[in-house]
Structure 1
């Protein structure tokens, strides 16, 4: 059964340096997305690499029929609002409210993170909205970095996005469901708008982007390299030797994919204080 909302996997040793928040993608789950051979790696492995981080996972209804539709309750916007609200509730003490945040998103989960940060920065830039939403605005203020794993960023090219949408549907086992493919294709304007909004704030964060090095049999690469990268000066890009579904699942510390992603998380935590101080002084 899918788990919704935030779940703390590891509280972190004192002093806690950051919150690391994992967000799954389309058709995913807050636990299963990050599990291989019964090993939930953010809980079982990562705490050894970053012992002073609180590690959380966040779940939501990732029904592929509704994910990118502009109408209805289950939209990328509502998911992003839910992420902000839940993170605000998880950061109650004065120390927690100002603690750096690192977001890790797989596939379309990266889009939810992008939308949440756009909303948070909008709250920060509007005096009236900040007055009523200052706690959620702090999520944006405290975000030091984002790690995108197989996230399809570009929706402006409808033809290219249609291909990606079809592959995403097939990758989660819904190739025969025309409603799912149609829903994803209809999300192109949503992605285009999000791409434009995020462009205004993306320079504030330390960004790591991971691309899928392998294709799925009969499908190929779900997200092509040029769609999965932002091409930013503050973006570090790497490849994970796995396909779109497996690129976020690890069961051993020796796996190259785990070593790459955990190293990115560790680096972002180490740089978080400097990133936030530089932003505050600019």
Structure 2
């Protein structure tokens, strides 16, 4: 069952209890997949999934704190036939309590894969075109989820893989953070102190530059059959990297080299913001948001979906 996520001034449609705790910077929302109800949308023809990063949430990661602009909502207004989904997960643990959060990237990715598969099955949309949008660690989770969908022997998860038309990753450390060990410790400490929690040790180790887990994740993702297609075929791959250093740390958390995935047809773009602010657009006129809202970034790839499905059926 999907959790209901209540966000101040926003309408999110869930499947659990009728009430939920409002999200604040000190509250970790309940993990799971939530649906944003787009006003007037009745027959969606595309799914768009948002996956936040460390120290993030479905509500706060994508919202500009000064203007309140929450671009999943704006995207739903600009693309009224879109079905907006937000995936939330918990990567924190309180060291004052007993036990340790041993959550790993594969654990979170499997939850995303199966919850998304269930949602699409219940909505009769197993092969509806799909766009995946991730920030930081969220991008790694998306990559691992697609790998899990490819390896699953049941048809529904595999349909997710072959229905994916676009993947957009913001500041995702595909090769790990290339900061020195000392700086990397500062980054993780800063993330933890900002909410009073610590990052689970297995997530921490996975984010090391050149870590074996990231290497195997990248290699498996690059070997997916969806990339054995012409340069202009689905899925399109857009990667974004920050061009402003992180406050107080004075470094790029994820530089251009680490942000790149290394698959055919990949397009990399710089965003004039730091790692945290790069997905918090000021308003609908933000140049990065405007580039996403264009037909070429999200909707045009739907024209090539039939090619993907036909190729899948013939295999």
**Distance across 2 between alignment mates of 1:271 and 1:159:** 33
Give the corresponding residue for 1:197: 220
Q: 1:76–1:112: 8 Å Cα contact kept in structure 2?
A: yes
Q: 1:120-165: CA deviations, max 9, x gaps?
A: 1112xxxxxx2xx32222221211221000101014xx97684774
* 26-35 or 2-11, which deviates more: 2-11
> Structure 1 stretch 195-204 or stretch 96-105: which is displaced more?
195-204
> Which runs of structure 2 are paired with 1:72-221 in the superposition (5 Å)?
73-93=102-122, 95-123=124-152, 130=153, 133-155=154-176, 162=181, 165-166=184-185, 168-169=187-188, 172=191, 174=193, 180=199, 183-184=202-203, 186-187=205-206, 188-201=211-224, 203=227, 205-219=235-249, 220-221=251-252
Match of 2:266 among 223, 235, 251: 235
Q: How has the CA–CA distance of structure 1 residues 159 and 90 changed in structure 2, closer, same or farther, with 3 Å as cutoff?
A: closer
Q: 1:61-72 counterparts in 2 under 5 A?
A: 61-63=90-92
Which ranges in structure 2 are unaligned for 5 or more consecutive residues?
1-26, 228-233
Q: Quick one: higher RCO (CA 8 Å, sep 6+), 1 or 2?
A: 1
- The residue that corresponds to 1:28 in the other structure is 56
Change (3 A) 1:226 1:272: same
RMSD: 3.1
1:14 deviates by 4.8
Which one has a bigger Cα radius of gyration? 2
By how many angstroms is 1:94 displaced? 6.8
Contact 1:100 1:273 in 2 (8 A): no
- Aligned position for 2:310: 280
- CA gap of 1:199–1:210, structure 2 versus 1, over 3 A, is same
Deviates more, 1:206-215 or 1:101-110: 206-215
Bigger fraction of residues in helix: 1
In structure 2, the CA distance between the partners of 1:64 and 1:234, relative to structure 1 (3 Å rule), is: farther
Match of 1:127 in 2: none
Secondary structure at the counterpart of residue 120 of structure 1: helix
1:245-264 alignment runs, 5 A limit: 245-263=276-294
Say if 1:112 and 1:103 are closer, same or farther in 2 by CA, change over 3 A. same
CA displacement at 1:166 relative to structure 2: 3.6
Pairwise CA distance, 1:276: 4.8
TM-score relative to the length of structure 2: 0.74
TM-score, reference length from structure 1: 0.82
**Structure 1 runs of 4+ off > 6 angstroms?**
none
Compared CA separation, residues 136 and 42, structure 1 to 2 (3 A): same
**CA distance in 2: counterparts of 1:244 and 1:35, whole angstroms:** 14
- The alpha carbon displacement at 1:262 in A equals 2.9
Count how many residue pairs are aligned between Structure 1 and Structure 2.
265
Structure 1: which 5+ residue stretches go unaligned? 124-129
Tell me what 1:17 maps to: 45
Q: Distance in 2 between matches of 1:212 and 1:171?
A: 18
Once residues 20 and 195 of structure 1 are traced to their aligned partners in structure 2, the CA distance between those partners, rounded to angstroms, is 23
Question: Secondary structure of 2:277's partner?
Answer: coil
**Is residue 163–residue 308 contact of structure 2 (8 Å, CA) maintained in 1?**
no
Worse-superposed segment, 102-111 or 226-235 = 226-235
| Aligned match of 2:13 | none
